[in-house]
Amino acid sequence: MIDLSVKLPGLDMKNPIMPASGCFGFGREYSGFYDLSKLGGVTMKAATLNARYGNPTPRVAETASGMLNAIGLQNPGVDKIIANEVPFLAQFDTAIMANIAGSTAEEYIKVAESFNETDDVHALELNISCPNVKEGGIQFGTDCGMAASITEKVKKASKHPVYVKLSPNVSNIGEMAKAVESAGADGITMINTLTGMQIHLPSKRPLIANKTGGLSGPAIKPVAVRMVYEVKQQVNIPIIGMGGISSAEDVLEFLLAGASAVAVGTANFQNPLICSEIIDDLPRVLEQYGFSSVQETIGKGIQ
Amino acid sequence: MIKKEIMQIVSSNRIALDTFEMVLKNAYISSTAQPGQFLHISLPGHTLRRPISIANVDRQAETVTAIFKILGEGTKNLSYCKAGETLDVLGPGGNGFNLENEPGSRIVLIGGGIGVPPLYYLGKQLAEKGMEIVSVLGFQNKESVFYEERFKEFGEVHIATDNGSYGTKGFVTDVVTNVGPIDRYYTVGPIPMLRAVTQKLAGVQGYISLEERMGCGIGACFACVIPLKGEEHGYKKICSDGPVFHANEVAL
């Protein structure tokens, strides 16, 4: 019997698989395809203080082995998420992480405080790495001092463990990780998307209305694995790894690189059943490579 | 309910310039699909699925017809798929057209280019319900025209081409005012056409169907949204709330 369970701050997971924020909405649509209780956890779509419409369309474009997106954090606002979406997800036996975003430090704090109202959310993911909004988001995630400061403030405001989602669009991701760890982060999730662009030849203009978008999918997996590998050696808090995962083999790669759990993003669009299928396949892959638990794989690839 | 299904390609034929008619067999999708719904088709080597509208359904043969135009790499690869091969499809997607009309209503179908296909299945069903159907179909040029004879099965057909190489020279909006009284219209095509049609037929009840680049195709990713008319922050998801809307529901 292969033991898939992992225990992370706030997140008691029966397996290391969770859908990534923004790729799973609030779970409703995917619940028509399989029982969400099967998931180790779910990360909800980003919550801001007030409702946000997001960017104009087109918001997505396919690329070689991946896609660009610039949704722009569209969401109904934290109060409606707590009232309507959290209770829906809470019916399922799975850990729930709320992704929080904002334009200002005050907004992040208010959103974090709002989630103190509910015990059905088990951890926060501090989104300081969204490349698709004009204010906030990534500006907090590309400067060590600002990242540490916002982490500290949210940590102080929240009763839940706080994971900080790191951007790959930085010159030294290890420094960012250390900065948020020393500011009190309970864990790190990484990586968010890489900023990219595609020019539409018929119109001779950027295809995405926002001009730039975040690159995700298998194209970014080697970047993500490399970054997890580097960060694991520089911090002592757990890492939830993500970036182009679409198979149980990909999951094992991230675990060996140092992730304690993983999030699956873009692959949900290709195959709405992907998380469920990976969970079914993971024991076989662990066994094939001589492991009897997820726990013993974590960081094993680091030399 | 939308499901992930395997569909077998029964046939695939080029029916007009860069335009293909593909017949796909699947018991679940053929038994549940409504006019206006779509197939979200996965293609090997592509990250995103391609939404293709349903042009016809044969419940006895358990087949669904999809008509698509080569507009990029994905649709080009779809055109290479041959009879006997299978496709991974999410379907039927979205909500179909409201078919409820007063008995004997005069219905006008207005389609532009690759917006024409869903109107065929719609027209067929409305005709079966005893409606009088008039079709106004617009294409770029003569080489792009398809399904004229099929639409004639259930009513009068008017064709317009942008360059006048076939039918009336001009747009569907140039034709639609000359087809007599309209009790209700259904229109599918690019947004500029939908805007022009809904303005021209402002006093008439109508339904529109939208196309947009989609991500998940099931309502989770918020890639294909459209603002609601006159409501700040209000929006609809084209894939799961639509693709069919009331003509005055969304801001085109």
Structure-block tokens of residue B1: 């309910």
Pairing mode, strands B155-161 and B168-169 = parallel
Distance of CA B99 to the CA centre of its chain: 15
The H or E element spanning position A158 is: none
**Structural domain includes residue B223:** no
The amino acid at residue A227 is M
How confident is the model over B47-106, as pLDDT tens digits?
A: 999 999 999 999 999 999 999 999 999 999 999 999 999 999 999 999 999 999 888 999
Q: Are B121 and B83 found together in one domain? A: no
Write down the pLDDT at residue A240: 98
Which among A53, A54, A57 has the least Cβ separation from residue B212?
A57
Write down the pLDDT at residue A160: 98
Are the beta carbons of B222 and A218 separated by less than 8 Å?
A: no
**Tally of structural domains, chain A:** 1
Shortest distance between the Cα of A24 and any Cα of chain B, in A, equals: 6
A130 is catalytic: yes
Q: Are B50 and B142 found together in one domain? A: no
Q: Which of B139, B135, B166, B168 is nearest to B153 (CA)?
A: B135
Write down the pLDDT at residue B202: 92
Question: At B27, which CATH number?
Answer: 2.40.30.10
| Residue B186 pLDDT grade (very low, low, confident, very high; cuts 50, 70, 90) | very high
Would you state the torsion angle of the CA atoms of residues B96, B24, B131, B114, taken in this order, to the nearest 10 degrees?
A: 70
The last residue of one of the domains, among B37, B67, B93, is: B93
Which among A57, A61, A269 has the least Cβ separation from residue B221?
A269
Segment B31-44 shows an average pLDDT of 97
Which among A45, A51, A61 has the least Cβ separation from residue B213?
A61
Structure-block tokens of residue B3: 């499901």
**Tally of structural domains, chain B:** 2
Write down the pLDDT at residue A136: 62
Is A269 near chain B, with CB under 8 Å?
Answer: yes
The last residue of one of the domains, among B93, B116, B148, is: B93
Structure-block tokens of residue A283: 């024991």
Write down the pLDDT at residue A248: 98
Is A66 near chain B, with CB under 8 Å?
Answer: yes
How confident is the model over A194-211, as pLDDT tens digits?
A: 999 999 999 999 999 999
Pairing mode, strands B205-209 and B244-246 = antiparallel
**Structural domain includes residue A23:** yes
- H-only helix segments in chain B: 27-32, 73-80, 117-128, 148-152, 172-176, 191-200
Pairing mode, strands A95-100 and A213-216 = unpaired
Cβ distance B223 to A57 under 8 Å? yes
The H or E element spanning position A5 is: none
How confident is the model over A252-278, as pLDDT tens digits?
A: 999 999 999 999 999 999 999 999 999
Q: Are B199 and B120 found together in one domain? A: yes
Top residue of B41, B69, B77, B222 to mutate, by most chain A CBs within 10 Å, is B222
Range of the structural domain that residue B115 is part of: 106-211
Cβ distance A138 to A129 under 8 Å? yes
Range of the structural domain that residue A81 is part of: 6-54+71-194+216-297
Question: At B144, which CATH number?
Answer: 3.40.50.80
Q: Are B38 and B7 found together in one domain? A: yes
Spatial distance between the Cα atoms of A151 and A105, rounded to a whole number of angstroms:
10
Spatial distance between the Cα atoms of B247 and B209, rounded to a whole number of angstroms:
9
Spatial distance between the Cα atoms of A265 and B47, rounded to a whole number of angstroms:
12
How confident is the model over B136-145, as pLDDT tens digits?
A: 999 999 999 9
Strand order in the sheet with B205-209: B168-169, B155-161, B132-139, B106-112, B184-188, B205-209, B244-246
Structure-block tokens of residue A130: 């969204």
Maximum alpha-carbon separation in chain A: 56
Q: Are B207 and B121 found together in one domain? A: yes
Query: Which neighbouring-strand residues pair with A68?
Result: A61, A215
DSSP SS3 for A113: helix
**Structural domain includes residue B168:** yes
Share of chain A above pLDDT 90, in %: 94
Segment A47-69 shows an average pLDDT of 94
Strand intervals (E) in chain B: 3-16, 19-25, 38-42, 50-58, 63-69, 86-93, 106-112, 132-139, 155-161, 168-169, 184-188, 205-209, 225-227, 235-237, 244-246
**Structural domain includes residue B164:** yes
| A273: CB partners within 8 A, 6+ apart | A33, A34, B4
Q: Are B123 and B207 found together in one domain? A: yes
Is B47 near chain A, with CB under 8 Å?
Answer: yes
Write down the pLDDT at residue A303: 87
**Structural domain includes residue B229:** no
DSSP letter assigned to residue A82? I
Spatial distance between the Cα atoms of A88 and A296, rounded to a whole number of angstroms:
34
Question: At A34, which CATH number?
Answer: 3.20.20.70
Residues of B in contact with A266 (CB under 8 A): 47
Prediction pTM value? 0.95
CB atoms within 10 A of CB A37: 11
| Mean pLDDT estimate for chain A | 95
Are the beta carbons of B225 and A270 separated by less than 8 Å?
A: no
How confident is the model over A104-139, as pLDDT tens digits?
A: 999 999 999 999 999 999 999 999 987 666 666 677
Q: Are B112 and B199 found together in one domain? A: yes
**Structural domain includes residue B249:** no
Write down the pLDDT at residue A140: 82
Structure-block tokens of residue A276: 């469920």
The last residue of one of the domains, among B34, B64, B93, is: B93
